Amino acid sequence: MNKVEAIEDVLGVEALGSGVGLSLPGGATPEHVVAPRDAEECARLMRWATSSGIGVLPVGVGARSRPFESEGRWVALSTERMDGIETYEAADLTLTAAAGTPMADVAAAMRPHKQWAPFDPPRVGEGTIGGFVSVADSGPLWAGYGEVRNHVLGATIVTGDGRILRLGGRVVKNVAGFDLLKLVVGGRGSFGVVTSVCIRAFPEPIEDRVLVLASASLPELAGPALQVATAPIVPVSSVIVDRLPTSDTPGLVIRLHGSRVTVDADQRRLEAHLGLKLATIDNRATFAAEVSNRGASDDIVIRVSTLPSLLGGLLGVVDGAGASSVGLDAYGARGRVSFSESEGSQAARFLDAASALGATVAVESAPHTSPLWARADEKTSHEAELMDGLRRAFDPEGVLWPTRS
Amino acid sequence: MIRSLSPDVIARLRDIVGARNVISEPDRLVVYESDGLTAYRVSPLAVVLPASTEEVSAVVSLLGREGVAVIPRGAGTGLSGGALPTAGGVVVGTARMNRILSIDEADRLARVQPGVINSRLTTATEPYGLYYAPDPSSQSTCTLGGNVAENSGGPHCLKYGVTSRYVTGLTVVMGDGRVVELGGAHRWAAGTPDFLGLFVGSEGCFGIATEIEVRLLPLTEGVRTILGIFETMEAAGRAVTEIIGSGLMPAAVEIVDKATIEAVEASVFAAGYPTDAGAALVIEFDGTEAGLDEEAEAAARCCRANGAREIRSASTEEERVALWKGRKKAFGAMGRIAPDLLVQDATVPRTRLPEVLARITEIGEEYDLKIANVFHAGDGNLHPNILFDRNDQDEVDRVEAASKAIMTLCVQVGGTITGEHGVGVDKRQYMTLVHNETELDMLRRVRRVFDPSGLLNPGKVVPDPDGAVA
């Protein structure tokens, strides 16, 4: 039995597609794309792959950005057939959906109930809930709502050797055993294939106000940004961008949520703390989305983080780096810096300069042949050791991500 | 099992931490025989009280080489037996590691040793306009190291989240004595999996946190507290669902039931709650002063719409303390009506509260037990408190049976067996209600990654493969 016949035998012919059309960075084109319908089918596939010595690359719906090259036999696993909201308990503020469900569908389901998922990483509306949880990038709204990891209540995953694990549940507080869910959220598929997710929904804010402080340069925003980060109120987000959607100047964008009365008072307190007036933006939804995407819009994207008190030094480095797009969360002193060059020399210099300041940096996106990928993450030796041990626990034969170290 | 420590090992432990910080005399070990769950008692071989990361590392290394189990212990306030000694084990207590190492006002971070009392951190940071949000009911005595081990919650975690949301970094002594760093507030970009989140709530089975970096919040400008008096628990439960569903975000929503009200009002802690009420609901809002009145009034409307016969509001701090008194003094008051109290802990989807509460009442009647409910209603975190006398074996057996019935009920409606107290030894027997053998096996595998020797807090959290839980 050849590979095609074997997969058809395991999952049925409709689960099998060709790799043509699936563009994976790195130029890798899988011989086959397999799309199981649910956790049970996914488990059968993983058990077959384990017994056959075939690698499996979870690709979600194909939006991943890291390069992949494998010399062995491998198939890509798509979640596109795992699509649909399984349960939505609006009164309990919980929603469970299959991994391939578009985040846009999740938002559409919540909207009639005046609820939402308060996360705003770049292009969040374009991906699936499985991809969103696997990457677990909260976006600047974490300041007001907390990180994604705090609001993923449960997930079903399939391990590398085909075991189905139902982790967490659909209640907000749950300490029944070690919190393996935390590994899955943000684990980028390293520990298993996410097939279903339960997330917490939030009531939509009555008032969503976007305020702006424009500036002539990025370094000039360091002072106001630190003042916002130490203000007596915590805005739900505060972002430094190199270019405001309404002008070509850098600016600090602040969002306040709450009742009208509360937001009015918060704005007054914030302006008193800063000693200046902030401009109010009218078309806030479009504006906020454009702000969220800053820093993640070009060939090379660098993630960077430091402490708020060190933001001034970092902004000085960013200012002279030749970046094409910048979006830094002022409350968390973290975000993205993009470069439009293809060779990566400016980005490399930025990585070195930011590292010299003590900032943490990592490459998020780059051309697939770029040497920058050597700096795709920044594990300590202990973290690398833990990573290896945990991957062996979840994927003893190394089926998932067949060439990832 | 090791039955005693050799004189040589005792001497080497004394060399590491100082002679007075090694306790091995049987009469002095009595206080370490249990934690807040006093139903279980085991005497450790010794108690060692290190004062630094280096001393913890040296102690754990030495005990590891000797094959001696290590039981980490904070203040011993845990309610699931997480700090219960293992026979043949040594307790490593963090009582001397009680220094606040730094308060970073600009970055809103603090770094502390694990023996720092929870409420002491807020006291120390208040002059900077900051506070530490997680507030377990034992916050005046429990330690931050214990909070990390249990991923503790508290009344105000409804709005602010539990411990894991606030821990940004840890220094950890692993089972082999190595010192490792996990997380760090500045390391978001590193892109590593959330090992820190995995460690928090690991109940002392993955390592001993010896330094803890936590995020602080600015002090809130104002607070409003109201008390709703209801004829029935079901009505109070419906009010909770309506309040949360309406989009309001209270800082806390707590319920006390009729049995608890009666106990409190008959005690020295009398709070003025009407003893003929079926339930009392404490609802608190905090944040920017403007808007708090309208939020409190909106919550009051939800209460009235669900049959509240009376709403009381606090306009001063003294009045606020009075409204909370019936909730905060509940456990102390119960000592008056029974010699022993089993504080249970489970979570259910919030909308299932009314039916679950009704069924818990029936379970109390079926097993002829008095069950008093005090709990965090806003997040569905129940605390059914079973009153009993440990000298009455028949009653003890009925308590165990009723506990199992309550746990089973909570899981059947989509909940879980513990929301904030942890598994420890007490809930090991219920782990099969929420995890199948495949999942339990994975918990064991992950534990071995952190502690291959299995000497860190053995006999806790995960049932043995053969099903043994004792």
CB-nearest to A383 from B195, B376, B447 is: B195
Residue at B462 is within a domain: no
Domain match, B313 and B398 both? no
Domain chopping of chain A, boundaries: 3-78, 85-203, 207-375
Q: How far is A359 from chain B (nearest CA, A)?
A: 7
Domain match, B213 and B106 both? yes
CATH classification of the domain holding B15: 3.30.43.10
Helix residue spans in B329-392 (DSSP H): 330-334, 353-366
DSSP conformation class of A205: P
Q: What pLDDT sits at residue B15? A: 98
pLDDT digits 0-9 by tens, A241-276: 999 998 889 999 999 999 999 999 999 999 999 999
In the predicted model, what is the mean pLDDT of residues A200-221? Answer: 95
With cut-offs at 50, 70 and 90, classify the pLDDT of residue A27: low
Contact B83, B72 (CB under 8 A): yes
The number of angstroms, rounded, from the C-alpha of B219 to the middle of its chain's C-alpha atoms is: 23
Domain match, B106 and B210 both? yes
Token pair recorded at residue B251: 């800082």
Q: Looking at the DSSP assignment, which residues form a beta bridge with residue B372? A: B385
Question: Is beta strand A300-305 parallel, antiparallel or unpaired with respect to A334-339?
Answer: antiparallel
CATH classification of the domain holding B131: 3.30.465.10
Nearest CA in chain A to B407: A176
Q: How far apart are CA B295 and CA B285, in angstroms?
A: 7
CATH classification of the domain holding B355: 3.30.70.2740
Model ipTM value: 0.95
Domain match, B302 and B345 both? no
Contact A329, A238 (CB under 8 A): yes
The number of angstroms, rounded, from the C-alpha of B427 to the middle of its chain's C-alpha atoms is: 13
Residue at B461 is within a domain: no
Fold classified for A3-78:
3.30.43
CATH code linked to domain A85-203: 3.30.465.10
Q: Give yes or no for residue B279 having a pLDDT over 60.
A: yes
pLDDT digits 0-9 by tens, B144-162: 999 999 999 989 999 999 9
Q: What pLDDT sits at residue A276? A: 94
With cut-offs at 50, 70 and 90, classify the pLDDT of residue B325: confident
Q: Name, in order, each residue with C-beta under 8 angstroms of A220's C-beta and a sequence gap of 6 or more.
A: A250
CB-nearest to B348 from A171, A178, A332 is: A171
Residue B395 vs residues A252, A369, B39, B364: alpha-carbon distances, Å? 64, 71, 13, 12
Q: Give yes or no for residue A134 having a pLDDT over 90.
A: yes
CB atoms within 10 A of CB B470: 9
Instruction: Give me chain B's average pLDDT, please.
Output: 94
Q: How far apart are CA A72 and CA A69, in angstroms?
A: 9
Asked if B187 and A169 come within 8 Å (Cβ–Cβ), the reply is: no
Residue in B157, B158, B434, B449 to test binding to A, most A beta-carbons within 10 Å: B449
Fold classified for A207-375:
Vanillyl-alcohol Oxidase; Chain A, domain 3 (3.40.462)
Which of B93, B125, B148 lies at the terminal end of a domain, its last residue?
B93
Q: Residue B288 belongs to what domain range?
A: 220-337
Contact A338, A364 (CB under 8 A): no
Q: Name, in order, each residue with C-beta under 8 angstroms of B2's C-beta and a sequence gap of 6 or more.
A: B45, B66, B67, B68, B88
Q: Give yes or no for residue A117 having a pLDDT over 70.
A: yes
pLDDT digits 0-9 by tens, A92-116: 999 999 999 999 999 999 999 999 9
Residue at B435 is within a domain: no
Residue in A171, A194, A377 to test binding to B, most B beta-carbons within 10 Å: A171
Q: What pLDDT sits at residue A202? A: 94
Domain match, B295 and B365 both? no
Contacts of A174 in chain B (CB under 8 A): 347, 416, 418-419
Residue at B428 is within a domain: no
Contact A151, A126 (CB under 8 A): no
0.90 exceeded by pTM:
yes
Name the nearest CA neighbour of B146 among B226, B251, B35: B35
Q: Residue A105: which region, alpha, beta or left (left: phi > 0; alpha: psi -120 to 50)? A: alpha
Secondary structure of residue A53 in the 3-state scheme: coil
Q: Give yes or no for residue A304 having a pLDDT over 70.
A: yes
Q: Give yes or no for residue A405 having a pLDDT over 50.
A: no
Q: Name, in order, each residue with C-beta under 8 angstroms of B88's C-beta and a sequence gap of 6 or more.
A: B1, B2, B3, B45, B68, B69
In the predicted model, what is the mean pLDDT of residues B222-228? Answer: 96
Q: Give yes or no for residue B20 having a pLDDT over 70.
A: yes
Q: How far apart are CA B80 and CA B278, in angstroms?
A: 29
In the predicted model, what is the mean pLDDT of residues B11-35? Answer: 96
Q: Give yes or no for residue B284 having a pLDDT over 60.
A: yes
Domain match, B227 and B331 both? yes
Q: Give yes or no for residue A387 having a pLDDT over 60.
A: yes
Residue at B458 is within a domain: no
DSSP string, A28-45: ---SEEE--SSHHHHHHH
Instruction: Give me chain A's average pLDDT, please.
Output: 90
Which of B93, B111, B134 lies at the terminal end of a domain, its last residue?
B93
Q: How far apart are CA B338 and CA B336, in angstroms?
A: 6
Q: How many domains does chain B have?
A: 4
Secondary structure of residue B100 in the 3-state scheme: strand
Residues 108-137 of A with CB under 8 A from B: 114, 136
Contact A136, A147 (CB under 8 A): yes
Q: How far apart are CA A101 and CA A374, in angstroms?
A: 32
In the predicted model, what is the mean pLDDT of residues B384-398? Answer: 94
Residue at B18 is within a domain: yes
In the predicted model, what is the mean pLDDT of residues A108-127? Answer: 93
Name the nearest CA neighbour of B82 among A244, A175, A226, A115: A175
CB-nearest to A382 from B180, B188, B434 is: B180
Residues 400-459 of B with CB under 8 A from A: 414-423, 427, 431, 434-435, 438-439, 442-443, 445-450
Secondary structure of residue B15 in the 3-state scheme: helix
For chain B, say whether A355 makes contact (Cβ under 8 Å): no
Instruction: Name which of B59-68, B246-255, B447-456 the model is least confident about.
Output: B246-255
Q: What pLDDT sits at residue A395? A: 95
Q: What pLDDT sits at residue A186? A: 94
Q: How far apart are CA B302 and CA A147, in angstroms?
A: 30
Domain match, B127 and B214 both? yes
Asked if B449 and A175 come within 8 Å (Cβ–Cβ), the reply is: no
For chain A, say whether B379 makes contact (Cβ under 8 Å): yes
Domain match, B310 and B381 both? no
Q: How far apart are CA A7 and CA A170, in angstroms?
A: 33
